[in-house]
Amino acid sequence: MTGALLENAQFKRGPGGRPTRSEAERRHRDLLETATRLFLEKGWDATSVDEISRLSGVAKRFIYSRYADKAALFIGVIERFIAERIGALQSPAPPPADVEAGLVVFGARLLELALHPDALAILRLFIAQAPRFPDLARLFVERNRQRNLAEIKRVMAAYVDRGAIEGDLDMRAEQFFILVVGIPQRLAMLVGREPRQEEECRLRATVRLFLDGCRAR
């Protein structure tokens, strides 16, 4: 009853009593923001759709019209989280002319996003729940693999166009991500983030190793 009253009082409706498009988008945004906060604060098992509905002020029928269950909603939360982080990674400015310096700068930005405490917490939750929902996990990977690499591919494409590096863009983007993020992210999840100086030394060595394999001859 509380959710219904909240909807009637706060939500803007169009002709026929249906929410306007902007209102539906606002509800969805509030829903995902609340769900993200609760999953991060309380974990998977302690977070319920009932609580998400109550605290977001979004009726359960609205939630279930978009997500089949809590697992599907969790995937929606992760996709929104990734989209926001990718947006923060994007830059309208062209990469620096020097390929090594440019990839070090870009790699540092990538690490800051990948090693953010919320990003690590989301990743832990996803890894823990993926075996319980293998079909959803597989669908998530299929839908988001290219999205995750899009900005890396843009940077790589700029250096390919300049003749600085060569090779398949998909492969280069994937290799760069794994080389730059893989070990620091695993360390951060298990024992905490490395000291800044060690992290920077590792990044510079990683970029040199990457370029040894793909620099234009």
Tell me what pLDDT residue 136 has: 83
Domains of the chain: 1-66 (no CATH), 69-217 (1.10.357.10)
Chunk the chain into consecutive blocks of 10 residues (it has 217) and report each block's average pLDDT, rounded to whole numbers: 34 55 89 94 94 95 93 91 82 87 95 93 90 87 82 93 93 95 94 94 97 88
Contacts of the segment 152-160: beta carbons below 8 A, 24+ positions apart: 152/106, 152/110, 152/176, 152/177, 154/90, 155/95, 155/102, 155/103, 155/106, 158/94, 158/95, 159/95, 159/99, 159/102, 159/103
How much is the pLDDT for 84?
85
pTM of the shown model: 0.80
- List Cβ neighbours of 71 (8 Å cut-off, separation of 6 or more): 129, 132, 133, 136
Query: Do 159 and 102 form a contact (C-beta atoms < 8 A)?
Result: yes
Q: What is the pLDDT of residue 17?
A: 52
Contact between 36 and 77 (Cβ < 8 Å): yes
pLDDT for position 89? 81
Query: In angstroms, rounded to a whole number, what is the distance separating the alpha carbons of residues 126 and 75?
Result: 8
